[in-house]
Amino acid sequence: MASDRLKISLGFVFASLIWGSTWLVIKAGLESIPPFYGAAFRFIFAVIVLWMIIKIKKIPLPFDKESVNVYLISGLLSFSVPFAMVYWGQQYIPSGLSSILFALYPFFVGVLSHFFLPNEPLNIFKIIGVVLGFSGILMIFADDISWASELTNAGMIAIIGSSFLQALSLVFIKKYGKDVNPFHLNIGGMAIGVVVLLLFAIVSEDVSKIKFDFIGIGSILYLGIFGSVVAFSIYFWMLKRVEAVYLSLLAFVTPILAVILGGVVLNEKLDLHIFQGAALVLAGILISNGKQFINTLYRKKLV
């Protein structure tokens, strides 16, 4: 039991660190490869790696009705349409505003879990924790909010829509995909994502702008192996073991790590309000787990 909690805690830390670093890598990769093509190439490479893992481990890829339905949920609601909406929306709004809007994700997960997952109802600890976490993100990125173009509203709607679809995917996979192997969830969802993202790329991007230079290839390799294979496998593994709303709190942690890494790697300014906001996020995560902590103490007293 204690070892499971340790594994879950380590999984949360590793997924946060990896996804916190992917913002820097994506930003660098965009200099060489347009966004939709970049995302598609990332998933193509990830699918190849996952296929090799499945073959080596001799895990047969199931194609029964339940598994295929989960692949479709994962592919359409996690790995394709939301990615396209984020990439499209970020063309028209600042990254700080994107971070704030996407941080609505835990709110959406909390509400959807309450209605679709009978064993994961909202409670006062979750509500206070999510509100505190969102307040921390707002504090960190408030100075970056601006309305830069006529399409700002459309960009905002795209980011919020992506956040909602990702939340829907998380809850539905939790509900219907409990018996599906994390590697299968990854490869099935990403394979569908590749098809959809390539269609977006072919329609909207200039293939002549693709440069397979050191930075472009490096970003594909890092995002494919660590940002996709490793992080999403950890993510889906944890989803089978923790409540959906707790896992969704990753959306609060990753942008903070991205800002801190930007300060360390790119010498971007780190003001006091960033650390104050990070403290609020940490408090929110701790409080959201308050009921679970109290229940654990209560059980120990009974023993």
- Tell me the domain boundaries of the chain: 18-302
Query: What gap in Å lies between CA 228 and CA 239, rounded to an integer?
Result: 16
Q: Read off the tokens for 208.
A: 């002549």
CA separation, residue 275 to residues 14, 140, 215, 247 (Å): 20, 8, 31, 22
Query: What gap in Å lies between CA 204 and CA 87, rounded to an integer?
Result: 12
Range from 75-89, 118-132, 176-190, 264-278 carrying the lowest mean pLDDT: 264-278
Confidence of residue 291 (pLDDT cuts 50, 70, 90): low
Q: Check pLDDT > 60 for residue 232.
A: yes
* pLDDT per residue as tens digits for the range 174-201: 999 888 888 899 999 999 999 999 999 9
Range from 27-41, 79-93, 165-179, 274-288 carrying the lowest mean pLDDT: 79-93
pLDDT of residue 95: 67
* Mean pLDDT score across all residues of the chain: 86
Mean pLDDT of 211-215: 94
Range from 53-67, 138-152, 178-192, 288-302 carrying the lowest mean pLDDT: 288-302
Range from 101-105, 114-118, 256-260, 291-295 carrying the lowest mean pLDDT: 291-295
* pLDDT per residue as tens digits for the range 51-71: 999 999 888 888 888 899 999
pLDDT greater at residue 90 or residue 60: 60
pLDDT of residue 300: 45
Q: Phi then psi for 31, rounded to 5 degrees?
A: -70, -20
Q: Read off the tokens for 137.
A: 């993100």
Other CB atoms within 10 A of residue 279 CB: 13
Q: Read off the tokens for 61.
A: 């890829």
Mean pLDDT of 103-109: 93
Element (H, E) at 281: helix 272-288
Task: Specify the 3-state DSSP secondary structure of 301.
Answer: helix
